[in-house]
Amino acid sequence: MRDLCGYTTPFTHTAHRNPKIGGTGSANGVRGLLATDAARPRQSSGARERQAPRGHQRARLSNLADVIDLKILRDDPDRVRASQTARGEDPALVDVALAADSDRRAAVAAFDAVRSEQKGLGKQIGPLQGQLKKATDDAVRAQLQQQVDTLMANAGQLADAVKASEQAQREADEAADKALGALSNLIDPAAPVGGEEDFVVLEEIGTPRDFAAEGFEPKDHLELGQLHKAIDVERGAKVSGSRFYYLTGVGAQLEFALVNLAINMAMANGFTPVIPPALVNPPAMEGTGFLGQAAENVYKLEADDMYLVGTAEVPLAAYHMDEVLNADDLPLRYAGYSPCFRREAGSHGKDTRGIFRVHWFDKVEMFSFCPPEEAEAEHQRLLGWEKQFLDALEIPYRVIDVASGDLGASAARKFDCEAWVPTQGRYREVTSTSNCTQFQSKRLRIRQRGADGIEPVATLNGTLCAVTRIIVALLENHQQADGSVYVPIALRPYLGGIESITA
């Protein structure tokens, strides 16, 4: 599975780009299999409200009934089964969810019935007690007392029944929440169906360099990083273990330069910069969908019941947890800079050299809250901003439409940008943007208030700069025969104006 998680005109680079790289590609379309939900009208007024405390006390998700639209689940379960199958996940979970939903409705009906009976009995006892108090005839008082005693005995039995029924409903609620929470988001019908290698190439931008024609063998990023004293994996392993590193000297400067470039571009495109917490509580991690299929890659601090985030997507998504947003304020766009921690379970033996696949890296992540009917256009805008950043760095890359079996649980559709890595002779993922529709907002209870009422917002995310992978692409694509590294024009102001990195 891939691991990183409107439209603006991409930043162009002609006269100022690295002359070793050039050219453009073309876009391709793709059709999908599933029907989409009808778009809802945008709401236009309302106030932002906090609905509940965001504290650690909420130990589990509540009211997950509409994470997967219950109307769709009940009326068209085959559609949900098809989505599960297309993801490579168990379609039988749909039947488990349907049974749990049926059990919950039955439990609710049973509780309502016994509670109604209890209320009815209470209405009888009061008047009888009033009559008993006023009665003067001993025979009448005895008869009334017997009736009150009988009703009181029945009331005691009903109280026990109500308590038991309430507990049964609570258990049915929890079982239904768990069953519904196990279902992934419905995939977008336009997403290609298949596994990791069944993606569709939408566009290729830039032409990979022909190093043989230039007369030298390219060095890989680690060799270049060591040559320029920018990357130190030996000491990283000594201090922290495998897949850790130090960025030193110009390597550290490159990180600062890339992050500043990314944040400035994000702000120019209307994003609010954010430095979010890198530790979150279970509701934040679960609400964004990272404790399902992705749980094995999450670091957990057991003693504190907290999680290290694998992406700023998590704290950014949870930023408005339990809030009702003003529809007129949407979209709300944030660019978060944070460390990212990933266990990389299942990646044994993959990308062990250098800093391409590591347990920790820093990243600038874009996140958007928008009206549901604008999510598809917002997704294209996020992709456009990712391309703008890569264009500014003069790196050859391609855009792919990720196949259904390679989507995260929250994503309905995802586009990746993959940079060319010369020493590997292939494109590798450097950015990813996902449309999560209303899946996360329902779990996190983030809604918008407009003229037509209250409804969940759509959430979208997109990588702007995953620092280590961008450094890999920069060093390898912009290296020169003498070992120096060309600095793209856009990056120079953040590196003191230097045009190349020299040993």
Q: What CATH number is given to the structural domain containing 260? A: 3.30.930.10
46 domain residue, yes or no: no
342 is catalytic: yes
- Give the C-alpha separation, 440 to 394, whole Å: 34
Q: How buried is residue 198: exposed, middle or buried, by Cβ count under 10 Å (0-12/13-18/19+)?
A: middle
pLDDT given for residue 136 in this prediction:
73
Cβ 399 vs Cβ 203: under 8 Å: yes
Shared domain check, 94 and 202: no
Asked, for residue 6, whether it belongs to a domain, the answer is: no
Catalytic residue among 54, 104, 381, 469: 469
357 has catalytic annotation: yes
Residue 386 catalytic? no
Task: Give CA separation, 216 vs 228, 255, 320, 481, in Å.
Answer: 19, 28, 53, 6
- Verify that 238 and 318 share a domain, yes or no: yes
* 320 Cβ neighbours under 8 A, 6+ residues apart: 332, 369, 444, 446
What residues make up the domain containing 101? Answer: 90-181
Total structural domains in the chain?
Answer: 2
Q: Among the three residues 128, 155, 181, which one is the final residue of a domain in this structure?
A: 181
Q: Are residues 175 and 193 in the same domain?
A: no
Q: Is 17 a catalytic residue?
A: no
Is 223 found in the same domain as 171? no
What stretches in the chain show pLDDT beneath 50?
A: 1-2, 6-65
In a shared domain, residues 177 and 193: no
Residue pLDDT, tens place only, 176-228: 989 998 999 999 999 999 999 999 999 999 999 999 999 999 999 999 999 99
Instruction: Tell me whether residue 233 is in a domain.
Output: yes
Instruction: Name the residue type at position 240.
Output: S
- Tell me, yes or no, whether 55 lies in a domain: no
End residue of a domain, out of 181, 206, 223: 181
From 104, 357, 381, 413, the catalytic residue: 357
Could you tell me if 246 and 293 lie in one domain?
A: yes
Residue 429 designated active-site:
yes
Q: What is the pLDDT of residue 128?
A: 60
| The predicted structure's pLDDT at residue 412 | 97
Question: Are residues 176 and 292 located together in one domain of the fold?
Answer: no
Asked if residue 32 belongs to a domain, the reply is no
Residues 232 and 282 in one domain: yes
141 shares its domain with 193? no
Q: Considering the domain boundaries, does residue 198 fall inside one?
A: yes
Residue where one domain finishes, among candidates 181, 203, 227: 181
- Active-site residue among 209, 342, 447, 449? 342
Q: Pick the catalytic residue: 432, 434, 445, 449? A: 432
Residues 379 and 457 in one domain: yes
Taking only the tens place, the pLDDT of each residue in 441-487 is 999 999 999 888 999 999 999 999 999 999 999 999 999 999 999 99
List the alpha helices (DSSP H) in 294-371. 313-318
pTM (2 d.p.): 0.82
pLDDT at position 131 is 65
Which residue out of 429, 434, 441, 445 is catalytically annotated? 429
Residue 347: predicted pLDDT: 67
